[in-house]
Amino acid sequence: MKPLTIVGLLTSILLLAVAFYAEEDLPAFGDENSAVNKAIKLFTIDADANLVAALNAGTLPEEIKNKIYDLGFIKGPTCEGCQNENYPTLEEGNYKIEYIEEGTWLGGRLYTVGGWDVLINNGEIFYDEPQQYYFITESDGKLSVSRYNWPVRVTERTEEETAMINAVTSGLADYRGYDTMGEETVILTGALGVILLMRRRGKL
């Protein structure tokens, strides 16, 4: 056996071991804390029997609605005749509330905590089916309201999660790191291709 073969075998075994080691730490598919499924907590209010009863009956109480509006998620179209772009309204009939029990799989996500899912259908211009927008859980006499949305996570949690001031850099190099790795490799491969094609006759 050649020495090179032995070195190659040892390197492969080492890489395999590293891959197994890293695989243990990978978040499971459907983990609620993975990047795609993470819901951003917006605020908490004191739980009230009336609030819980209203949620169970399928209506969003005015207190929660007003707090959501106060955070800047707009109520409706900002001008006459223009369409509401990103934040559907929470008027009656636009949404429906479903209670989801602990431990159910839904939409590629495992719910480790039970709660009320607010699905919005009317007013959402990008999707036909009802979309999950808000998630309300009850614990210790408090109702905490979270929101599923990628832009909300980027704007709210970028500095905390990546320690970068610049959200664009965190998106480029942190959240989508594999994408950037591929781009860089493409550039290097292009340069190598030019070298192989153009340097045939010349000296280095």
Partner 1 sequence: MTTQKREYKRDVIIEVSTNLLFPLILLFGLYVMIGTGGTGGGFQGGTILASAFILYITVFGHEKGREKMPESVNAFFKSFGLFLYNGAGWICVLFSLATIQWLNMPAFWPVTDFVGVAGSRSFLVGYMVSVGIGLTVMASFVSQYFDLAWKEEEEMGGNEE
Footprint of partner 1 (CB under 8 A): 18, 21-22, 25-27, 33-35, 162-166, 168-170, 172-178, 180-181, 183-185, 187-188, 190-191, 194-195, 198-199, 201-202, 204
In this complex, which beta carbon is closest to partner 1, that of residue 69 or of residue 175? 175
In this complex, which beta carbon is closest to partner 1, that of residue 155 or of residue 169? 169
Give the amino acid at 14: L
- Exposed e or buried b for every residue in 2-23, given b needs 16+ CB within 10 A? eeeeeeeeeeeeeeeeeeeeee
In this complex, which beta carbon is closest to partner 1, that of residue 71 or of residue 195? 195
- The kind and range of the H/E element at 115 are strand 115-120
Q: Min. distance of Cβ 40 from partner 1 in angstroms? A: 14
End-to-end Cα separation, the chain, in angstroms: 35
In this complex, which beta carbon is closest to partner 1, that of residue 35 or of residue 53? 35
Query: Tokens representing 23?
Result: 């695989």
CA gap 14, 55 in Å, rounded: 54
Q: Min. distance of Cβ 16 from partner 1 in angstroms? A: 14
